[in-house]
Structure 1
């Protein structure tokens, strides 16, 4: 008879399985990874993961939810703990974005380079994605409110997001020398900001 699992047991195994799944999903793609392979990565029987997750899509949703929340936490921390004006806070958020992506490439790849067609079936994933998206808009609202930039916060935030994402992906793909994504991101951010200053032609 299987032993009764405590909440700590469940949380511990789910965490270990998600860590293994994150690497395998990112390296091979979710379609190429089986539940048997995930179980083997942890040295457990093929049926063990089913005690904690419904199926592979359930695991993928949990991995991505965790990733989006960790990402949002990093950006929120950068915004909240940086002293100074909106410019300094905005720069800190941008640096935190690039740092997180380069330090957690598997997580980042699953978050932004992969979509799940059934995403709506996972409310926690939807909420984590919404939270992450808000971190890419809120610091821009600060800049607009302080008269540094002009425009729609959602649209401008998407511009900065696209610039950061492009820099990160180029470095992760080996198309930029290691360590240069952050410098390029700074340059792009300054160029975009110049064009969005109040009264800019």
Structure 2
């Protein structure tokens, strides 16, 4: 008779499955990975994953939700320390870069993947909203402090676009060998900071 699984057993296996799936999805693309291969990676029967997730799409959603949550946690922690608004914004950017470089597989699944069924998974949706919020909260603080003026969401997305663009070029090896990504990011942000007049008032 099959062993009755506790909630802890279920959660532990779900975590193991998501870890294996993240690596396979990032390496080969979600479309190329089968449930059988996921089961094989964990040394279980082909039907075992179905006891924990409806299908591969649900696994992908869980993997991405967990990654977005880790990402948001990292940025929230970076911005929680006592500091002035400009320092908080810089800290958020540093945390963003550190996460992407430490977890490149997760980062690419989060932002470089189109999952048409995203709206079917409330946990994933909530994690995305939470992560997106970290892109604007530090900008709002700078506006409140009088360091800049404008639409916080739009400015936050501008910073986000710059970070993401350079990081994706870096992670995919598309930057020219002569380009230092750290210097490129510094130049981009110093240019934008001057344009926005941050710290110059």
Could you say which TM-score interval applies, normalised by the shorter chain?
over 0.9
Displacement of 1:183: 3.5
Instruction: Tell me if the contact between 1:23 and 1:106 (Cα under 8 Å) persists in the aligned partners.
Output: yes
Specify the alignment match of 2:138 in structure 1. 139
Deviations 1:17-55 (A, max 9, x none): 000100111111111000000000111110000010000
CA distance in 2, matches of 1:178, 1:9: 50
Structure 1: how far apart are the matches of 2:161 and 2:23?
24
Structure 2 distance, partners of 1:60, 1:16, is: 13
**Which residue is 2:164 aligned to?**
165
Distance across 1 between alignment mates of 2:117 and 2:90: 35
CA drift of 1:175 comes to 3.0
Look up the SS of the partner of 1:136 in the other structure.
coil
Q: How large is the Cα RMSD of the aligned pairs?
A: 1.7
* Within-5 A mapping of 1:77-116: 77-81=77-81, 83-116=82-115
Cα distance in 1, alignment partners of residues 100 and 67 from structure 2: 10
CA contact (8 A) 1:98 1:182 kept: no
Q: 2: distance between equivalents of 1:46 and 1:173?
A: 33
Q: Which runs of 5+ in 2 are unaligned?
A: none
What secondary structure, in the 3-state scheme, does the structure 2 residue paired with 1:148 have?
coil
Alignment of 1:194 with 2:194, yes or no, is yes
Per the alignment, residue 51 of structure 2 pairs with 51
Take 1:185 and 1:147, find their aligned partners in 2: how far apart are those partners?
Answer: 24
- 1:25 is aligned to 25
In the alignment, structure 1 segments of 5+ residues that lack a partner are: none
Q: Is the 8 A contact 1:143 1:149 kept in 2?
A: yes
Q: Residue 14 of structure 1: CA displacement?
A: 0.4
SS in 1 for 2:174: coil
How far is the alpha carbon of 1:179 from its aligned partner? 10
Partner of 2:13: 13
Q: What is the CA–CA distance in structure 2 between the aligned matches of 1:166 and 1:88, rounded to whole Å?
A: 22
Q: Match of 1:175?
A: 174
CA distance 1:42–1:161, shift in 2 (3 Å): same
Task: Give the distance between the partners of 2:34 and 2:134, measured in 1 at CA.
Answer: 34
Deviations 1:168-194 (A, max 9, x none): 111111234699434422321221121
Aligned residues: 198
Q: Kindly tell me: are residues 97 and 51 of structure 1, through their superposed partners in 2, closer, same or farther at Cα, counting changes over 3 Å? A: same
CA distance in 2, matches of 1:41, 1:102: 25
2: CA distance, partners of 1:26 / 1:39: 17
SS of 2:135 mapped into structure 1: helix
